[in-house]
């Protein structure tokens, strides 16, 4: 690599680092303050992997006393729901175990985009009507959940919904000690031996971890031709 190429690569890394810092600073100091302090809300929900708000947006639309923070790192998807409701705050950030940045693997089926690489053997066995194919990648800012909760001065969360395409448990772990301030969680877990994403934990691993943190499995909804389940946990 020539000195010019090296300087160019270094400049791009510096630009990415500056972008991440600006996103975090704006999110914690401006956006959260402007929305959360502007009025009183009775309940707070967090939606990690919100996509277009399929799970939580209707509830916010029906209840103005509910404040939802919706994290969606795919800016194309996030931009489609930004600004539609005062009490639905869309943040183009990925929740992960480290504050910083990561590569989002963009999928032909948008909802399958993930920070994890695809498990080629598992993908071949996966039963789906959608095209599962990585078509590119983009650098996105990442933030720990406890960083967000502390920075936004959120004391408690009534409901945490996670659909992070193989990283659901990592999202939960990123809450650290603040996990004790969450009343109810919904996570997605693989229920078969094969995986769509490398390193994605199965149902038994997730249930064991949640139980160790004082939660009990309250409900299980099978989906994806029996290959996945939405697991709902309540504090025991």
* Domains, in order of start, for the chain: 3-235 (3.40.50.150)
Helices (H), ranges, 106-224? 120-125, 145-151, 168-173, 203-212
Tokens representing residue 215 in the block? 């939660």
* Mean pLDDT, rounded, for 87-111: 93
- Cα–Cα dist 179/158, whole Å: 11
Distances (CA, A) of 212 to 163, 171, 175, 215, 217: 21, 16, 15, 7, 12
The pLDDT of residue 183: 98
The C-alpha atoms of residue 50 and residue 73 are separated, in whole angstroms, by 9
Whether 137 shows a pLDDT value over 80: the answer reads yes
- Name the pTM for this structure: 0.85
Q: How many beta carbons lie within 10 A of that of residue 158, not counting itself? A: 14
The pair of structure tokens assigned to 205 is: 């691993």
Q: Label residue 153 exposed, middle or buried (CB < 10 Å: 0-12, 13-18, 19+).
A: exposed
Distance CA 10, CA 129 (A): 42
Considering only 29-33, 120-124, 143-147, 167-171, which range has the smallest mean pLDDT?
A: 29-33
d(CA 184, CA 123): 31
**What was the pLDDT predicted at 11?**
53
Predicted confidence band at 38 (pLDDT cuts at 50, 70, 90)? very low
Q: What percent of the chain has pLDDT over 70?
A: 83
Q: Which helix (H) or strand (E) holds 230?
A: strand 228-235
CA distances from 58 to 68, 161, 164 (A): 11, 14, 20
Percent of the chain with pLDDT over 90: 67
| Per-residue pLDDT tens over the stretch 162-207 | 999 999 999 999 999 999 999 999 999 999 999 998 989 999 999 9
Q: Which residues pair with 102 in a beta bridge?
A: 140
């Amino acid at each position: 690599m020539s000195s010019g190429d090296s300087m160019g690569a270094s400049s791009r890394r510096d630009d990415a680092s500056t972008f991440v810092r600006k996103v975090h600073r704006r999110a914690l100091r401006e956006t959260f303050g402007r929305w959360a302090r502007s009025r009183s809300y009775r309940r707070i929900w967090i939606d990690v992997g919100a996509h277009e708000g399929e799970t939580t947006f209707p509830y916010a639309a029906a209840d103005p006393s509910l404040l939802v923070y919706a994290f969606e790192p795919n800016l194309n998807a996030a931009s489609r729901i930004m600004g539609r409701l005062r009490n639905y705050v869309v943040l183009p950030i990925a929740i992960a175990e480290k504050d910083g940045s990561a590569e989002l693997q963009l999928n032909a089926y948008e909802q399958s985009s993930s920070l994890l690489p695809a498990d080629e053997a598992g993908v071949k066995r996966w039963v789906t009507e959608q095209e599962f194919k990585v078509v590119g990648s983009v650098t996105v800012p990442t933030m720990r959940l406890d960083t967000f909760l502390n920075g936004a001065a959120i004391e408690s969360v009534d409901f945490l919904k996670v659909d992070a395409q193989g990283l659901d448990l990592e999202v939960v772990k990123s809450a650290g000690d603040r996990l004790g301030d969450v009343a109810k969680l919904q996570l997605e877990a693989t229920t078969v031996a094969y995986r769509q994403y490398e390193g994605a934990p199965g149902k038994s691993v997730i249930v064991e971890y949640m139980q160790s943190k004082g939660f009990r499995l309250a409900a299980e909804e099978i989906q994806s031709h029996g290959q996945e389940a939405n697991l709902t946990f309540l504090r025991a």
